[in-house]
């Protein structure tokens, strides 16, 4: 046998070995396994290198240090609510929460997400408004400022927030800043030195030894949180950078949605920040200081649940909340997401709702930042059109909002996209709002965005070119690993 023949046989044998490892050891879902086998078949050896970078499961043992605290959560209010829901004696704060009790109970049982009824919530749909509000609240902070972002850029917007943090740190306020090492890979230590010199603390989540390349592409911390004095919280889709304030001419208009919450639901946001903070520091979290959870009251009575998900848990709480909302809808389901690459359970839920006469509408950007994602968006949009759903492509700029609203009753806004990466690979966090007025505001935002969109009809979809159909087919096969 020639040298070329020996190499060919060796590569073929190694590829079979890699495939067997993938099937019998990795224990992935069937759809994900088939997607990876597809990659291994067409990209021998290189496909397995790609798998080592982005395909491996996260070892849950690495998260024992903060899971132990989470599982020992025995706060009296949490236990009282959990027991009351189980016994049927819970006094629901409004008619919407009573109607959607199964959703609330699911998140209490499987996500330790306490329903808080004392909250004042403001929806922020413009970047400039959001950042102006953030800086004002930072400047008024009295005790603590905790800030966490997937992407933090040290441009004009980033510097304006950073300088406000430095100023508060110099005043003796506790400032803790955390960013994802991959998402914020352009940040340098010298960019952050002013804050640490002023007494602030900075941590990178899942950092890498390589300066501009992080081999751990999966399992990123995609959460965006700010908690001020334990009573004011920001949660939603905006990262920190000029483009998010529509100050980047190349990107243009940026459409996103964020929440400013003042109330008791901020306790859950605070707890998640602290868990992530200690994980980033690789420190044991044995107890949580009470000063991070001050006692205070607000006049508004908006019920809110803060729901999280990540690769450290077996229950995909945010995805399951989405599905529960969709299947609870009687009139309409409006969904906004920059990526619509759902898994089978989510896709089945929207198809069931649409085929049952519910007005299901999905809005994504006209232009995405990844060709395979665009193909997958198109493929799954076609599936929805087949059962009477409606699909919109936002064309004013880039749509980055992650929002679902149903029946003028319940809405959720947060960091989780409609894709497998957000459902099971990244650390995400969402707020669920059980309030008619806020749900109506979300619906009105969606309806206003329709005016800046074009509707993709079934006739238009059926006329797509052969190359588009091929790209859709490949994208659909790869969708579990996009």
DSSP state letters, 352-373: HHHHTT-EEEEEEESS-S-HHH
| Known active-site residue 402 | yes
Report the alpha-carbon distance of residue 449 to residue 451 in Å, rounded.
Answer: 5
Which pLDDT value is given to residue 212?
A: 54
Of the listed 100, 118, 153, 222, which one is catalytic? 222
Which pLDDT value is given to residue 414?
A: 98
DSSP strand pairing (418-419 vs 119-124): unpaired
| Known active-site residue 469 | no
Of the listed 229, 343, 419, 435, which one is catalytic? 229
| Known active-site residue 222 | yes
* C-alpha distances in Å from residue 408, one per residue of 39, 300, 329, 438: 43, 19, 10, 8
pTM over 0.85: yes
50: left (phi over 0), alpha (psi -120 to 50) or beta: alpha
Q: How many helices (H) and strands (E) does the chain have?
A: 18, 19
Of the listed 100, 118, 402, 435, which one is catalytic? 402
Q: Per residue of the chain (482 residues), give pLDDT as tens.
A: 676 666 666 666 666 666 555 555 555 555 566 555 666 666 665 666 565 555 555 555 555 444 444 434 445 577 888 889 999 999 999 999 999 999 999 999 999 899 999 999 999 999 999 999 999 999 999 999 999 999 999 999 999 999 999 999 999 999 999 999 999 999 998 999 999 999 999 999 988 766 555 556 677 899 999 999 999 999 999 999 999 999 998 889 999 999 999 999 999 999 999 999 998 988 877 777 888 999 999 999 999 999 999 988 888 999 999 999 999 999 999 999 999 989 989 999 999 999 999 999 999 999 876 666 667 778 888 999 999 999 999 999 999 999 999 999 999 999 999 998 899 889 999 999 999 999 999 999 999 999 999 999 999 988 877 777 666 656 666 555 45
DSSP H or E stretch at residue 434: strand 428-434
Q: What are φ and ψ of residue 167, in 5° steps?
A: -60, -45
Of the listed 312, 343, 407, 449, which one is catalytic? 407
Which pLDDT value is given to residue 66?
A: 44
Of the listed 28, 168, 224, 319, which one is catalytic? 224
DSSP 270-333: HHHHHHHHHHHHT-------GGGS-----S----EEEEEE-TT-SS-HHHHHHHHHHHH-SSEE
Of the listed 168, 400, 408, 449, which one is catalytic? 400
Q: What are φ and ψ of residue 431, in 5° steps?
A: -110, 135
| Known active-site residue 211 | no
Smallest CA-to-CA distance from 476 within 34, 18, 22, 27 is with 34
Which pLDDT value is given to residue 67?
A: 44
Which pLDDT value is given to residue 27?
A: 52
DSSP 389-414: -EEEEE-SSEE---EEEETTTEEEEE
Which pLDDT value is given to residue 415?
A: 98
């Amino acid at each position: 046998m020639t040298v070329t023949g020996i190499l060919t046989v060796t590569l073929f044998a190694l590829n079979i070995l890699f495939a067997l490892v993938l099937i019998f050891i990795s224990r992935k879902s069937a759809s994900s396994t088939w997607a990876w086998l597809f990659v291994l078949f067409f990209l021998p050896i290189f496909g397995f290198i790609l798998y080592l970078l982005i395909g491996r499961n996260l070892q849950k043992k690495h998260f024992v240090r903060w899971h132990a605290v989470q599982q020992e959560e025995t706060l009296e209010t949490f236990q009282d609510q959990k027991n009351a829901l189980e016994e049927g004696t819970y006094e629901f704060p409004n008619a919407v929460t009573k109607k959607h009790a199964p959703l609330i109970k699911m998140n209490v049982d499987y996500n330790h997400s306490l329903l808080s009824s004392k909250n004042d919530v403001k929806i922020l749909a413009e970047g400039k408004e959001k950042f102006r509000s953030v800086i004002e609240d930072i400047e008024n902070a009295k005790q603590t400022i905790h800030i966490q972002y997937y992407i933090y850029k040290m441009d004009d917007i980033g510097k304006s927030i950073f300088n406000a943090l430095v100023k508060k740190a110099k005043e003796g306020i506790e400032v803790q800043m955390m960013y994802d090492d991959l998402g914020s890979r352009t940040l340098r230590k010298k960019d952050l030195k002013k804050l640490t010199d002023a007494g602030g603390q900075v941590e990178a989540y899942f950092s890498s030894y390589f300066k501009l390349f992080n081999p751990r592409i999966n399992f990123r911390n995609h959460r965006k949180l700010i908690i001020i004095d334990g009573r004011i919280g920001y949660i939603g889709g905006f990262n920190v950078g000029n483009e998010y304030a529509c100050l980047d001419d190349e990107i243009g208009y940026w459409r996103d949605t964020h929440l400013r919450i003042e109330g008791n639901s901020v306790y859950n946001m605070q707890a998640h920040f602290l868990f992530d903070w200690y994980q980033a520091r690789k420190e044991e979290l044995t107890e949580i200081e009470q000063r991070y959870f001050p006692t205070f009251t607000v006049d508004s009575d908006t019920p809110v649940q803060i729901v999280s998900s990540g690769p450290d848990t077996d229950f995909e709480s945010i995805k399951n909340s989405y599905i529960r909302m969709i299947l609870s809808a009687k009139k309409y389901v409006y969904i906004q997401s920059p990526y619509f690459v759902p898994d089978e359970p989510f896709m089945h839920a929207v198809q069931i709702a649409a085929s049952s006469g519910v007005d299901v509408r999905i809005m994504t950007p006209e232009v995405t930042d990844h060709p395979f994602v665009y193909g997958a968006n198109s493929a799954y949009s076609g599936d929805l059109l087949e059962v009477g759903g409606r699909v919109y492509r936002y064309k004013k700029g880039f749509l980055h909002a992650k929002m679902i609203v149903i029946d003028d009753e319940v809405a959720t806004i947060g960091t989780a996209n409609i894709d497998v990466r957000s459902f099971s690979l990244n650390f995400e966090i969402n707020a669920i709002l059980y309030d008619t007025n806020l749900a109506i505001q979300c619906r009105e935002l969606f309806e206003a965005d329709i005016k800046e969109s074009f509707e993709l009809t079934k006739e238009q979809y059926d006329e797509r070119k052969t190359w588009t159909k091929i790209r859709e087919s490949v994208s659909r096969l790869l969708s579990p690993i996009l």
